[in-house]
Structure 1
Amino acid sequence: MASVTTDNKSKTDKSKDVNPSQLDPVLPVEIKQGPVRPYLVTEPSKDLAARRSVSTLSERLYIIVLIAFTAIIRLYGLEWPNSVVFDEVHFGGFASEYINGTFFMDVHPPLAKMLYAGVASLAGFKGDFDFENIGDEFPSTTPYYQMRLFSASLGAFTVVLLYFTLRSSGVRQFVAFISALCFAIENSYVTISRYILLDAPLIFFIAAAVYSFKKYELYPQGTIKSYKTLLATGIALGFASSAKWVGLFTVAWIGLLCIWRLWFMIGDLSKPVSSTISSAISKLIFLLGVPFALYAFFFKIHFDTLVYDGSGASFFSSEFRSTLLNNMIPTDILADVGISSIVSIRHVGTSGGYLHSHPFMYETGSGQQQITLYPHIDDNNQWLVELSSNPGVTFPDFQNLTDGAIIRLLHPSTHCRLHSHDHKAPVSEQADWQTEVSCYGFTGFEGDTNDNWILEIDQASSTPGVAQQRVVALETKFRLKHMVSNCYLFSHDVKLPKWGFEQQEVSCATTGRYDLTLWYVEANENHELEVDTNSKRISYKKPGFWGKFIESHIKMWSVNKNLVETHIYESLPKDWPLLLRGISYWGNNNRVVYLLGNAIEWWAVSAFMAVFVGICAAELIAWQLGKPILQDDHVFNFHIQVVHYLLGFLVHIGPSFLMKRQMFLHHYLPAYYFGILAFGHALDIIVSFCFARKKVVGKLLIVTFFAGCLYFFNSYKPLIYGLPWTIPLCEKSQWLTGWDYHCGSFLETYEEYANETIVSKFDIENNGTEMPMATTTDLLEVDEIEEPVIIDEIVEDIPLEANEEDLVVEETSERAVEPPKKEESIDDIANKEGFSRFLDENGNEIPIEEVKRIMAEQGGALKIEEKIVEV
């Protein structure tokens, strides 16, 4: 199946007299004859690394040109947009939290976020801007340019790493250079690396790991250089895994390649078994031990930096939060819980928080007072424990709560009791095993039998000892069984609608997960015990680093898998290789930022992967028929390297098909990177094999391919950089219906951009209530009429009268439309000559009556973007 030779002196000897730039980077596979069978020599040739390293002036010139070209592409215009773009809302905000030391919750590991925070801190950022909304303009105190420059620089370095990686896997200098140029102008990677996002650091670290491992394969086992490159691989894997969990797929890919390599080492008769064992141990240490140590180290920095309690800490247990400064978690709590104790009751199975009620009613079912789980400490979390047989009676002597006690829970602030009945649960209406839990009653009312709950202490999860005999704060886990319905007080990760303030649903369940019916007492007040100085008190045991490490990962996993809500720009993994749709990042000032791949390269990579699979299938059939295959050294290396990279592609995209959470096009980019590496070998085989005798023709073909990629990049660069574009060019560019950037956001001609000043946003308010800034997905937009002169207008406070808003226009330009002499209604303004139409996000006109209806439903508060024009 391969070129067989007893040694490789033929090429190595000739190399002494050949210009290094002309050396073939591919050497024959060495197979020797053993006592019983032939075997593959797994040690690389001593001069293989030299053949695949930078050693000539011409190659240095390639690299200089590549760096200059990439810098121009990747670092252009980073200061624009000068407002928050896409997920900068999250990751820029996290940088502020790091600087302020306020604990937050995120589903990703901390490294990339800490790097952005470090860059911002070095640039003088004080954490005084929170990146709250897409479109929020950056103040002068926020060094967003430096943060974006860091991201773009990593993106540029990734291009250089791709070049070195292809060279290390046997691609010729010129082909690696062209492949890297194509990667430099891959629209999706240019876009993703321009903003304060995790993807640029992640892909850089993955690229560093791939390059280091491919470099490691060039050195004989046990040499200093092999250990250095193996250590570099482990460090890069640690950084990648610490940026996003996707880096763990890279760890898995390299692990599979190590198993592959060890399998052939076992069959290498020139190597003793001890050498193979030594190699396996070194790989475990460098490729698993080093990454895990780095991963844990970055979490240690994360915990040591975020020392203050914040709203993000509400996802975590009270034990965890007790380690944070300024926390409100109770300490020195009365241990014994009894009748007449005022308690707060926390749910065990979720991070929803405390059993809670407030003076608002259900809009379904009984219409009685709501019961929810609330994550923050609040007076409405307090409950008075009563005996069911003597509600409202205060006993002179303290009585412990014991297993089997029948109790009622009175909500002191509203004088209602915890109650259940046959109504369906407010959200989980289709679940026959859940019924509504409400708060029912009034002052002086003693309640009824539907207020009775049987307390059952859970022996397995309660702290051994007295906590298993009677209720002890923090230590006893119990269930509350409804005496009439025989269902258990239950909660799960389901939110109530806005009328329930999106707090967590509480119901009564006859089945369901056991841990979701467990509760415990956190806060505990009892007058009889408080006057007794000998009363035992208890506090949470503060977890150490590993306890916090484990809990944070449980929460990260739980939150991540529950990100299942639909999104207007989400896409499925099966659609990614076809580039069926992109993602809208930002839109304002008649400009748009939209994530879209370079279709020329994107589709070429996808097509090549499909073709390669077909070629391999055909070769296997030919081999079964006894025909020789893979006889050429370059073809053999091509197959090996492409299989390596396509394995990386599959490892990185495969898990996406198993995930049920929201998925977007940018989740494809780590896998796509491996596809581009494989495609680089496809370009190389064109030159080295398909056109071996006419290499000039092969080079012209790949240069032509680069020209096509450059044409696409240049045509679509307005979507990358947020540049002016025209409606006709935009509409012409939408090759697929899924490329759903809104062409109505642009102007008709470039001359109109030359005449514009600033296109403002119109904030329509009602009774002082202002809507959050709209994103490109929910913004009502207004088209201009032909040949407009664009001016700035500001809509001031607008009172609502009879569901009609009067627009008062303030003149801000000498060429502005003359303000009306009197207040004008929407009908007056809409019918005025020169006033533009209301459009939805798809460019469809919205009738005036529909606008009125929408505004009435939203309380008259609606944010639109509008242009008033003069004919």
Structure 2
Amino acid sequence: MAKKQSSAAKAAALKAKQAPSLLSVDPVVDPVFAQGAIRSYLVTDPAPTLLKKRSLLGSNEWILIAVLLVASYYVRMYNLSYPKSVVFDEVHFGGFARKYILGKYFMDVHPPLAKMLFAAVASYGGFKGDFEFKSIGDYFPEGTPYVLMRQFPALLGIGTVLLAYFTLRSSGVRPVIAFATSFLLLVENSNVTISRYILLDSPLLFFIAASIFAWKKFEIQTPFSAGWFKSLIATGVALGLALSSKWVGLFTVAWVGLSCVYQMWFIVGDLSVSAKKVVAHAFFRGSILLGVPALLYLFFFAVHFQVLSKEGDGSAFMSSAFRAGLEGNSIPKNIIAQVGLGSTVTIRHIDTQGGYLHSHEHYYPAGSKQQQITLYPHLDSNNKWFIEPYSNLTVYNETFVPLTDGMKVRLKHINSGKRLHSHDEKPPVSERDWQKEASCYGFEGFAGDANDDWVVEIVSHRTPEGEARNNVIALTSVIRFRHAMSGHYLFSSEVKLPEWGFGQQEVSAASSGRRALTHWYIETNENPMLSQSEARIINYPKLTLLQKFTESHKRMWKINQGLTDHHNWQSEPQEWPLMLRGINYWVREHRQVYLMGNAVTWWTVSSVIAVFFLYTAIQAIRWHTGSQIATDKNVYNFNFQAFSYILGWGLHYLPFFIMGRQLFLHHYLPALYFGILALGHFLELFTGYFLARSQFLQRFGLGLVTIFVALSAVFYINYSPLIYATNWTKDQCKRSKAISTWDFDCNTFHGNISEYSIDEAASLTSASKIADDLLKKVEEAHETPVAEPVQQVLKVEEPAAEDPVAEPVEEVVEVIDVSAQ
């Protein structure tokens, strides 16, 4: 019995000795080349042992993963309840979550998934939408589950760290180096900051990380196996989630697409793969990697439209047809279809969404100084126009005369009695030679003149076939108004009038410009010449999902392109790899939240990317001179994986150079994630290849990696007051400004740490006093008669009808501009 136990112990010891350690494991296999009739070729099917080599090793490796989990949980969850007020873009994304809960339609430049997830978390926490997230610094009241809402991105931040580890293991990095690289992400200051607040960046980065991991798992699967299909579908799903959170996900789709093209090049050249399998590769990769994200993207927008079923502040950006499908809308209904002489109409501009042709009894300060013509986005009696004949010889007061293509008419403003007019004057704001002023002109008893005459033209290519192309039909016919004397067309672009024009949209008469900006349609129509039996009633058609989807994307793109105003905390793409400045998130109570990266990690990533470009150039020269390159399996895997990740870095970074909108440091974070993964392969090559020939050198190399990770951790700790808004002194702050462009404000902080204790004591005293005062007021309320509320209501004044109303796009740009989208 004792001998059997001794034999078993020896076998177990031998097995343990033979099992690879966390450092000695070899996750790389030799590339296989075969000889064809004319040339050699790379065998693209993964080696049967590759998947096993890159699987987790057991309990020892799970310990590393557990350490990452516990450490990242502490780093990202620490004191999430502070600040107890709105931070940075929580103004927007907390506010959007509120609107989902209330069901009120809003407009944003980002797809809906991440915002809907925040809304779901808030709803789970009991949020009823009673806090508006109106301004940075607004304190959260009791009942707003802001901590729970912040925990959601924090959990996704933890998941991103773990995904980085699993991704590196799948791409051929040993456990110890994968752990060190993931730890760099764990203590990367900017990644910690974005994962602590109600922002879209953490969900986006998590879904991008999931896409990369799924793709790397796919690369090591046997083609057309169950694991291959599973990983391919998982990649498609993750890409769909990333794309549905932010349009940056398009860059990740492009990365997977180019990786596919790169791999297909070698598959086509692999003579062991039949033509049938090549076609199958192309079909399954293309259909799943494009089809699944597209379907998910459309599905989440369908949910978005379903949830936001009520009128809201974003409705003004949408067409009347879109708004007609929202609950509580004020869009006109049951409109008489036939438009004719004697009709009282409202005329809506199509392409700018500026609103209705409008006039009011205010005058241009220069030019003709006649009554203003504008576009006004809201329903108003000043939008009403009377269609009358250009000549009194035309009889229309006894019978209905339809408005036809080519008919000359005049448009009389109902409220002022003046007519739509144009003449040889420059418009009030635009100074192009091809634009002339449009105004309202006339006086009591004046019959009008030739400058009041306009020819109605039906735009056939934008009007459905049938009657609407001959006779003007409300809601259906797209029309133009040509000034009979000058040949100019009634025109409007997004140019706004200054304060004297109430910020409304300029209307002019134009001989050039984009043709679509001269297109209008009749929205409301009343004509006393039509009896009830003769009048056909029409309404806006119910839009399909694809029509809503298309219209919302046009608006999103337009608003996104309009974010061009200068922002105090914006930065340029060329500054990001050097991390020259950050973003101020929150300043209050002598504390600050300031987004900045971990300079140790950040600058090292930038350095290794520059080194890789130099290395690639040298290798290309060597290859052209006939030298053999990448013959070692470790170098071959490094080349393949580093190229893949740096391609991802470039695709998520370089497009920002051609964008005209405001840009901020956090736009670089997806590219940085790819860079950190590339850094992991540099560390792997450094410790596992160049130093593997000597155990001493390898240990020395691992020591250098340890020191590097420790320096990164020290940087994180030193600058953590800017992440967590904890106590810091002015002197500590000034000593921490390694470069002058880091513009966090050292004057924010106290001169001495002890002053924070005084503040806290004063805050407690103040809170106690407020509670006492409130208690006294409650007691007094039982004895004091309450004033009649009607008296207060009577003091409220109704806004004047002509109060300045900002055009919707300006309104949103202003809201978005207060912080960085």
For the structure 1 residues 426 and 604, does the alpha-carbon distance in structure 2 shift closer, same or farther, using more than 3 Å as the test? farther
Distance in 1 (CA, whole Å) between partners of 2:52 and 2:265 is 26
Post-superposition offset of 1:114: 0.7
Aligned to 2:757: 754
State the 1:157 CA deviation: 0.6
8 A contact 2:25–2:174 mirrored in 1: no
Query: Structure 2 CA distance, aligned partners of 1:614 and 1:432?
Result: 53
Per the alignment, residue 198 of structure 1 pairs with 200
Partners of 1:134 and 1:393 in 2: CA distance? 63
Unaligned runs of 5+ in 1: 1-13, 761-789, 795-810, 813-871
Higher mean C-alpha displacement, 405-414 vs 670-679: 405-414
- From 365, 378, 381, give the equivalent of 1:379: 381
Question: Which is worse superposed, 399-408 or 317-326?
Answer: 399-408
Distance 1:361 1:592, change over 3 A: farther
Aligned twin of 1:257: 259
SS in 2 for 1:260: helix
CA drift of 1:758 comes to 9.2
2:553 aligned partner: 553
1:466–1:758 CA distance, 2 compared to 1 (3 A) = farther
| Shift, 1:678, TM fit | 0.6
Q: Which residue of 1 aligns with 2:512?
A: 511
CA distance in structure 2 between the partners assigned to 1:556 and 1:541 by the alignment = 22
Structure 1 distance, partners of 2:760, 2:423, is: 63
Mapped to 1, the partners of 2:523 and 2:64 lie a distance apart of 66
The Cα shift of 1:365 comes to 4.3
1:131-159 deviation line (CA, Å, top 9, x unaligned): 12222222212211111110111111101
* CA apart distance, 1:300: 1.3
The whole-number CA distance in structure 2 between the counterparts of 1:310 and 1:362 is 33
Instruction: List alignment gaps of at least 5 residues for structure 2.
Output: 1-14, 775-821
1:340 aligned partner: 342
Equivalent residues of 1:391, 1:408 under 8 A apart: no
Is the 8 Å Cα contact of residues 205 and 239 (structure 1) preserved in structure 2?
yes
Secondary structure of residue in 1 paired with 2:653 = helix
C-alpha deviation, 1:169, in angstroms? 0.6
Question: Contact 1:75 / 1:152 at 8 angstroms: preserved in 2?
Answer: yes
| Partner Cα distance (1:708, 1:254) in 2 | 33
Distance 2:198 2:632 in 1: 46
Cα distance, 1:216 vs. partner?
Answer: 1.1
Instruction: Give how far 1:722 is off.
Output: 1.9
Find out whether 1:611 has 2:603 as its counterpart: no
Aligned residue identity for 1:311: D
1:243 alignment counterpart? 245
Q: 1:117 to 1:478 in 2, by over 3 A?
A: same
Secondary structure, aligned partner of 2:244: helix
In structure 1, what is the equivalent of residue 594 of structure 2?
594
Structure-1 residue corresponding to 2:464: 463
Do the aligned partners of 2:397 and 2:529 also contact (CA within 8 Å) in 1?
A: no
Q: Partner of 2:53 in structure 1? A: 51
Q: Distance in 1 between matches of 2:157 and 2:444?
A: 66
Displacement of 1:335: 1.1
Root mean square deviation of aligned Cα: 2.6
Change (3 A) 1:645 1:381: same
Provide Cα deviations, 1:678-709, integer angstroms capped at 9, x if missing partner. 11111111111232222111111111111221
Partner of 1:418, secondary structure, is strand
Question: Is 1:389 the equivalent of 2:388?
Answer: no
Q: CA deviation at 1:39?
A: 1.7
Distance 1:372 1:388, change over 3 A: same
Aligned to 1:155: 157
Q: Residues of 2 paired with 1:271 and 1:443: CA distance?
A: 88
Residue 368 of structure 1 deviates from its aligned partner by: 4.1
Asked whether 1:283 is paired with 2:285, we answer yes
Displacement of 1:484 in angstroms is 3.6
SS of corresponding position for 1:158: helix
TM (norm. structure 2) is: 0.87
Native 8 Å contact 2:317 2:353 kept in 1: yes
Q: Please, which of 719, 728, 733 is the counterpart of residue 736 of structure 2?
A: 733
Larger RCO: 1 or 2 (CA < 8 Å, sep 6+): 2
How do 1:72-83 and structure 2 match up within 5 A? 72-83=74-85
**Native 8 Å contact 1:20 1:56 kept in 2:** no
Task: Output one character per residue of 1:337-371: Cα deviation in whole Å (capped at 9) or x when no partner.
Answer: 12221111111222222212334444554454432
Aligned mates of 1:170, 1:28 — CA distance in 2: 12
Structure-2 residue corresponding to 1:216 = 218
Q: Matched residues in 2 for 1:104 and 1:289: separation?
A: 28
The answer to whether structure 1 residue 92 and structure 2 residue 117 are counterparts is no
Structure 1 residues 70 and 632: CA distance shift in structure 2, 3 A: same
How many corresponding residue pairs?
752
2:103 to 63, 86, 101: 101
Contact 1:418 1:451 in 2 (8 A): yes
Which letter does structure 2 place at the counterpart of 1:436?
E
Matching of residues 401-420 of structure 1 within 5 Å: 401-420=403-422
- 1:487 and 2:474 aligned: no
CA distance in 2, matches of 1:161, 1:208: 7
The one-letter amino acid paired with 1:307 is S
1:560-596, CA deviations, whole angstroms, 9 ceiling, x for partnerless residues? 2222222222222222112122212222222221211
Q: How many angstroms does 1:416 deviate by?
A: 3.4
Structure 1, residues 50-78: CA drift from partner, whole Å, max 9, x if none? 22121222211110111111111111121
CA distance in 2, matches of 1:130, 1:420: 46
Report what 1:188 is aligned to: 190
1:440, CA displacement in angstroms?
3.7
Aligned residue for 2:272, secondary structure, equals: coil
Shift in alpha-carbon separation, 1:350–1:264, aligned structure 2, 3 A: same
Distance 1:16 1:122, change over 3 A: same
Q: Where does residue 533 of structure 1 map in the other structure? A: 533
| Rounded Cα–Cα distance in structure 2 between residues aligned with 1:746 and 1:490 | 55
Worse-superposed segment, 690-699 or 603-612: 690-699
**Aligned partner (choices 711, 726, 731) of residue 708 of structure 1:** 711
Residue 630, structure 1, aligned to residue 630, structure 2: yes
Alpha-carbon offset, residue 511 of structure 1: 0.5
Contact 1:206 1:236 in 2 (8 A): yes
* Corresponding position of 1:356: 358
8 Å CA contact retained: 2:488, 2:511: yes
1-structure distance, mates of 2:342, 2:209? 63
Q: Report the equivalent of 2:720.
A: 717
Q: State the secondary structure of the residue aligned to 1:330.
A: coil
Pick which of 643-652 and 495-504 moved more: 495-504
1:729-759 deviations in whole A, cap 9, x for unaligned?
3233333343222222222222222212599
Amino acid at match of 1:708: L
Q: Which moved more, 1:205-214 or 1:706-715?
A: 706-715
- Take 1:436 and 1:50, find their aligned partners in 2: how far apart are those partners? 76
Residue 135 of structure 1 corresponds to 137
Q: Are the structure 2 counterparts of residues 446 and 722 from structure 1 closer, same or farther at C-alpha, using a change threshold of 3 Å? A: farther
Matched, 1:225 2:227: yes
Whole-angstrom distance in 2 between the partners of 1:496 and 1:184: 51
Pick closer, same or farther for the CA change 1:273–1:386 going to 2, 3 Å. Answer: same
Which range moves more in the overlay, 147-156 or 401-410? Answer: 401-410
Report the residue type matching 1:664 in the other structure: F
Is the alpha carbon distance of 1:419 and 1:735 closer, same or farther for their aligned partners in structure 2, counting shifts above 3 Å? Answer: farther
Counterpart residue type for residue 705 of structure 1: F
* Aligned partner letter, 2:658: L
Contact 1:15 1:23 in 2 (8 A): no
Q: Secondary structure of the equivalent of 1:463?
A: coil
Give me the TM-score of the superposition, normalised by structure 1.
Answer: 0.82
Structure 1 CA distance for aligned equivalents of residues 528 and 655 of structure 2: 56
**Cα distance change of structure 1 residues 543 and 35 upon mapping to structure 2, 3 Å threshold:** same
Give the counterpart letter for 1:725 in structure 2: W
Matched letter for residue 42 of structure 2: L
Cross-structure match for 2:794:
none
Distance in 1 (CA, whole Å) between partners of 2:263 and 2:304 is: 36
Contact 1:334-1:525 within 8 A present in 2 as well: yes
CA pair 740-502 structure 1, distance change in 2 beyond 3 A: farther
- The 3 A distance-change label for structure 1 pair 168 and 539 is same
CA contact (8 A) 1:386 1:392 kept: no
Percent identity over paired residues: 50
**Gap change, CA 1:661 and 1:63, over 3 Å in 2:** same
Taking the aligned partners of 1:554 and 1:509, their CA distance within structure 2 comes to: 25
